[in-house]
Amino acid sequence: MGPLLRRKGRTSRPRRSSRSPHSRSHTTSAVNKLESNKDKPVSIKVGGKSFTTTAGSIASNLLRRDFVADTTEATDANALARTSGPTTFVYGVGLKGGDLIPGNSNLSREVIVTHEGIHGDRGECQLPFHELLGIPPYDKDHQQPYNSAALQLLGLSQ
Protein backbone atom coordinates (compact mmCIF):
# COMPACT_ATOMS: atom_id res chain seq x y z
CA MET A 1 0.00 0.00 0.00
CA GLY A 2 2.92 2.38 0.54
CA PRO A 3 3.45 5.20 2.98
CA LEU A 4 0.52 6.96 4.54
CA LEU A 5 0.59 10.32 6.20
CA ARG A 6 -0.92 10.44 9.63
CA ARG A 7 -1.28 13.43 11.92
CA LYS A 8 0.12 13.48 15.40
CA GLY A 9 -1.57 16.03 17.58
CA ARG A 10 -2.51 16.31 21.21
CA THR A 11 -3.73 12.76 21.41
CA SER A 12 -1.31 9.89 21.40
CA ARG A 13 -3.17 8.19 18.59
CA PRO A 14 -2.24 9.63 15.17
CA ARG A 15 -4.87 9.69 12.47
CA ARG A 16 -4.66 9.71 8.68
CA SER A 17 -4.97 13.03 6.94
CA SER A 18 -5.26 13.77 3.26
CA ARG A 19 -5.45 17.53 3.75
CA SER A 20 -1.88 18.02 4.89
CA PRO A 21 0.38 19.96 2.51
CA HIS A 22 2.90 17.14 2.99
CA SER A 23 0.47 14.66 1.56
CA ARG A 24 1.01 11.27 0.08
CA SER A 25 1.47 12.90 -3.35
CA HIS A 26 4.91 14.29 -2.39
CA THR A 27 6.05 10.89 -1.21
CA THR A 28 4.62 9.25 -4.34
CA SER A 29 6.24 11.84 -6.60
CA ALA A 30 9.65 11.33 -4.96
CA VAL A 31 9.32 7.53 -5.11
CA ASN A 32 8.29 7.66 -8.78
CA LYS A 33 11.33 9.81 -9.63
CA LEU A 34 13.63 7.49 -7.71
CA GLU A 35 12.16 4.34 -9.28
CA SER A 36 12.42 5.82 -12.79
CA ASN A 37 16.19 5.91 -12.34
CA LYS A 38 16.55 3.08 -9.82
CA ASP A 39 20.13 2.13 -10.71
CA LYS A 40 21.47 5.67 -10.23
CA PRO A 41 24.17 5.52 -7.54
CA VAL A 42 25.13 8.20 -5.05
CA SER A 43 28.01 8.29 -2.58
CA ILE A 44 27.39 9.95 0.76
CA LYS A 45 30.23 11.02 3.04
CA VAL A 46 29.72 12.07 6.65
CA GLY A 47 32.54 12.62 9.13
CA GLY A 48 35.15 10.85 7.04
CA LYS A 49 32.99 7.74 6.50
CA SER A 50 31.13 7.08 3.26
CA PHE A 51 28.66 4.69 1.74
CA THR A 52 27.04 4.25 -1.65
CA THR A 53 23.38 3.61 -2.30
CA THR A 54 21.00 3.80 -5.25
CA ALA A 55 17.78 5.59 -6.07
CA GLY A 56 16.01 2.22 -6.13
CA SER A 57 17.18 1.36 -2.64
CA ILE A 58 15.91 4.69 -1.29
CA ALA A 59 12.56 4.23 -3.09
CA SER A 60 12.24 0.80 -1.50
CA ASN A 61 12.98 2.28 1.94
CA LEU A 62 10.27 4.91 1.43
CA LEU A 63 7.66 2.37 0.36
CA ARG A 64 8.10 0.62 3.72
CA ARG A 65 8.00 3.87 5.70
CA ASP A 66 5.07 5.27 7.66
CA PHE A 67 4.90 9.08 7.58
CA VAL A 68 3.36 11.01 10.46
CA ALA A 69 2.56 14.72 10.32
CA ASP A 70 3.74 15.90 13.72
CA THR A 71 2.45 19.39 14.45
CA THR A 72 3.92 19.42 17.96
CA GLU A 73 7.10 21.35 18.63
CA ALA A 74 10.28 19.71 17.37
CA THR A 75 13.24 19.69 19.75
CA ASP A 76 15.11 21.78 17.17
CA ALA A 77 12.92 24.63 15.90
CA ASN A 78 14.49 24.26 12.42
CA ALA A 79 13.92 20.51 12.20
CA LEU A 80 12.04 19.44 9.07
CA ALA A 81 11.62 15.76 9.87
CA ARG A 82 12.98 12.90 11.96
CA THR A 83 13.06 9.18 11.25
CA SER A 84 12.84 6.61 13.99
CA GLY A 85 12.77 3.01 12.83
CA PRO A 86 10.04 2.55 10.22
CA THR A 87 8.39 5.91 10.98
CA THR A 88 9.21 9.40 9.72
CA PHE A 89 7.80 12.33 11.67
CA VAL A 90 7.43 15.46 9.55
CA TYR A 91 7.35 18.66 11.61
CA GLY A 92 5.62 21.97 10.90
CA VAL A 93 8.53 23.48 8.94
CA GLY A 94 8.83 20.28 6.88
CA LEU A 95 5.08 20.20 6.24
CA LYS A 96 5.42 23.63 4.64
CA GLY A 97 8.40 22.47 2.59
CA GLY A 98 11.14 24.40 4.32
CA ASP A 99 13.47 26.37 2.08
CA LEU A 100 15.64 23.64 0.59
CA ILE A 101 14.62 24.82 -2.88
CA PRO A 102 13.61 28.46 -2.47
CA GLY A 103 10.27 29.23 -4.08
CA ASN A 104 9.37 25.59 -4.68
CA SER A 105 7.85 23.94 -1.62
CA ASN A 106 6.76 20.85 -3.59
CA LEU A 107 10.31 19.99 -4.66
CA SER A 108 11.56 20.89 -1.19
CA ARG A 109 9.17 18.32 0.30
CA GLU A 110 10.44 15.71 -2.19
CA VAL A 111 14.00 16.42 -1.02
CA ILE A 112 12.87 16.06 2.62
CA VAL A 113 11.19 12.73 1.82
CA THR A 114 14.25 11.45 -0.05
CA HIS A 115 16.63 12.61 2.71
CA GLU A 116 14.55 10.67 5.23
CA GLY A 117 14.56 7.65 2.91
CA ILE A 118 18.35 7.53 3.20
CA HIS A 119 17.96 6.94 6.94
CA GLY A 120 17.86 3.24 7.59
CA ASP A 121 19.42 2.41 4.21
CA ARG A 122 21.62 -0.67 4.31
CA GLY A 123 24.76 1.39 3.62
CA GLU A 124 23.99 3.88 6.39
CA CYS A 125 23.32 1.10 8.89
CA GLN A 126 26.77 -0.40 8.29
CA LEU A 127 28.57 2.79 9.35
CA PRO A 128 29.51 3.57 12.94
CA PHE A 129 27.90 7.03 12.82
CA HIS A 130 24.44 5.54 12.18
CA GLU A 131 23.92 5.08 15.92
CA LEU A 132 25.09 8.66 16.54
CA LEU A 133 22.63 10.42 14.22
CA GLY A 134 20.63 12.59 16.56
CA ILE A 135 23.61 13.20 18.81
CA PRO A 136 25.55 16.42 18.11
CA PRO A 137 27.69 16.97 16.09
CA TYR A 138 26.78 13.93 13.99
CA ASP A 139 23.16 14.98 13.66
CA LYS A 140 24.12 18.31 12.09
CA ASP A 141 26.99 16.82 10.10
CA HIS A 142 24.74 14.56 8.03
CA GLN A 143 22.25 17.24 6.92
CA GLN A 144 24.11 18.73 3.95
CA PRO A 145 25.48 15.43 2.57
CA TYR A 146 22.04 13.77 2.78
CA ASN A 147 20.31 16.76 1.18
CA SER A 148 22.93 16.83 -1.61
CA ALA A 149 22.44 13.11 -2.19
CA ALA A 150 18.65 13.59 -2.29
CA LEU A 151 19.01 16.37 -4.86
CA GLN A 152 21.24 14.15 -7.02
CA LEU A 153 18.94 11.13 -6.78
CA LEU A 154 15.92 13.26 -7.74
CA GLY A 155 17.79 14.67 -10.73
CA LEU A 156 17.80 18.20 -9.32
CA SER A 157 21.62 18.57 -9.28
CA GLN A 158 24.72 16.86 -10.61
pTM of the complete model: 0.80
Kindly state whether residue 158 falls inside one of the protein's structural domains.
no
Kindly state whether residue 75 falls inside one of the protein's structural domains.
yes
Q: What is the per-residue pLDDT across 40-75, written as a single tens digit (0 to 9) for each?
A: 999 999 878 899 999 999 999 999 998 888 877 666
**CA distances in angstroms from 47 to 37, 56, 144, listed in the order given:** 28, 25, 12
Cβ-contact 62, 117 below 8 angstroms:
yes
Kindly state whether residue 57 falls inside one of the protein's structural domains.
yes
Kindly state whether residue 11 falls inside one of the protein's structural domains.
yes
Identify the segments of the chain with pLDDT beneath 70: 1-26, 73-78, 129-138, 158
Kindly state whether residue 134 falls inside one of the protein's structural domains.
yes
Q: How many domains does the chain have?
A: 1
Enclosing domain of residue 122: 5-153
